[in-house]
Amino acid sequence: MSSHSEFLWYIPNDVKAGHRGDVADADHNSLDTLTTQAKALEDHGWRGALIGTGWGRPDTFTLATALVARTQTFEPLIAVRPGYWKPANFASSAATLDYLSGGRVRVNVVSGLDNLAAYGDEEGDQAHRYARTKEFMRLVRRLWTEEDVTFRGEHFQVAGSTVEPRLVARGARRHPKFYFGGASEAAEHVAATEADVQLFWGEPLDGVRERIARLKGLSKTLDRDLPPLEFGLRITTLVRDTTEQAWADAEAKVVKMAEGAAGNWQDHREGIAVGQKRLLDLTSRGDVLDDNLYTAPGKYGGGGAGTTWLVGSAEDVARSLRKYEELGITHFVLSDTPYLQEIRRQGDQLLPLLKPTAP
C-alpha cells in the first residue's frame, strides 16, 4: 500500500442500541463505552474514526471533543451539516478543538436529508442544498486561512471576521481536511471545487474508476483552485481467519437481517439519495461482484456503508483494498460489528497487511 494511505474506523453515536448488528448493551452509547472504542483504535493501529451525524443522535462535535480529551492520538472525522452550523460558529469551534488537540480534527461535510425543522433549518431543492454546502465549505476554509474576512454570499454573510485561535499549519496541512460524499451531479460539482477528499461508498471497482475519472475532469473544467482532490472509501469489511468462515458468517448475518433480527440497519433509507440508489441497484448484477464485494445486505435493510461488504480472510480483504488504492483511493474508513471486537481483530489482522511495502 502507499505510504500516503490512511485507515480510519467508525464510531456509531446512535441512541438506538444494536446499530448495524452491534451489541445491544444499555450503556452502548456511554462516554466510557465510546472511549474504550477510541482507545482501542489507538492501540490497534487505526488513525481515528468517522463519527456520524443526524438530529436525534448525540451531538457529534460534543462527542468528538470528549473523545479527543480522553485519548492521545485518536483523530475524529467529525460529520457536520451546513444548516445545523453557521460557518463562523463551526470554523471557531473546529479551530479551537484543533488547537487543543494538536491538530487532530478532520471534517466530513454532510448534505443528506435530516429533520431540519427540528432545529429551525430549511432547504430548497437539491440545487439550493448543494449551493449552500459549497458556500459553507468555501467560507469556513477562508475563515481558517485568512483574517478580517468579509463575505456576502447567497446563503451566508460575515463581516470583519477573524477566527481565534488561529489554525497552526502542520507540515503541508494548513487546516482540517474536508471530506465529502455524494454521487449526484450537483454533489460532484461541490466535491470537484471545494472538497479535499471525496468519499465513495462500497461500489465495485469499475464504478469507482469511472467516478474518479469524472471528478478529475470536473476539477479541471470547473477551474479548481485547491490542491488536487483526494479520494476515500467508506465500506464494511467482514474479516475472519479463513475465507470459508468469513462467507459463512456473512451469509448468516444476512439471514438474520432478512428475519429482522440483526439490529438497527435502516439508517439511509428515508428519501434515497443518488449514491444510495447506486448501491441498491448493484444487487441486480449479482450477490457477489469483483472478487468479494457482497451486495446481498442491500436487499435486506443494509444502508449506507452497510449496503455492501468486502468479505473474506484478512488477505482477501487486503487484496481488494489494494485494488481500490491502485485506482487512487488513499483514505479508507472501514467498520464491522460488533464494533469493539472488530476494531481489535481488523487492527491486528488486516492493517499489518496494508502497511506500505519497501520499493
DSSP conformation class of 305:
G
Largest CA distance in the chain: 62
Q: For residues 229 and 225, give the distance between their C-alpha atoms in angstroms, rounded to a whole number.
A: 10
Q: Are strands 329-335 and 75-80 parallel, antiparallel or unpaired?
A: unpaired
DSSP conformation class of 1:
-
Q: How far, in Å, are 13, 88, 139, 150, 159 from residue 142 at the CA level? A: 30, 10, 5, 10, 12
268-270-272-275 Cα dihedral, nearest 10 degrees: -20
Q: Check: CB of residue 308 under 8 Å from CB of residue 297.
A: yes
Q: For residues 178 and 143, give the distance between their C-alpha atoms in angstroms, rounded to a whole number.
A: 14
Q: For residues 286 and 305, give the distance between their C-alpha atoms in angstroms, rounded to a whole number.
A: 18
Angle at 334 between CA 141 and CA 38, to 5 degrees: 75
Q: For residues 198 and 208, give the distance between their C-alpha atoms in angstroms, rounded to a whole number.
A: 11
Per-residue pLDDT of the chain in tens (359 residues, 90 and over written 9) = 555 899 999 998 877 777 777 877 888 889 999 999 999 999 999 999 999 888 888 999 999 999 999 999 999 999 999 989 999 999 999 999 999 999 999 999 998 777 777 866 677 778 888 999 999 999 999 999 999 999 999 999 999 999 999 998 888 899 999 999 988 999 999 999 999 999 999 999 999 999 999 999 999 999 999 999 999 999 999 999 999 999 999 999 999 888 876 555 555 555 567 777 888 788 888 899 999 999 999 888 788 888 999 999 999 999 999 999 999 999 999 999 999 999 999 999 999 999 876 44
Q: For residues 322 and 283, give the distance between their C-alpha atoms in angstroms, rounded to a whole number.
A: 23
Q: What is the 3-state secondary structure (H, E, C) of 175-235?
A: CCCEEECCCCHHHHHHHHHHCCEEEECCCCHHHHHHHHHHHHHHHHHCCCCCCCCEEEEEE
Q: What is the 3-state secondary structure (H, E, C) of 84-122?
A: CCCHHHHHHHHHHHHHHHCCCCEEEECCCCCCHHHHCCC
In whole angstroms, what separates CA 269 from the centre of its chain?
17
Q: For residues 230 and 239, give the distance between their C-alpha atoms in angstroms, rounded to a whole number.
A: 26
Q: Are strands 309-313 and 230-240 parallel, antiparallel or unpaired?
A: parallel
What cell does 104 get?
487532530
Would the pTM of this model clear 0.85, i.e. be above it? Answer: yes
Length of the chain: 359
Sequence letter at residue 98: D
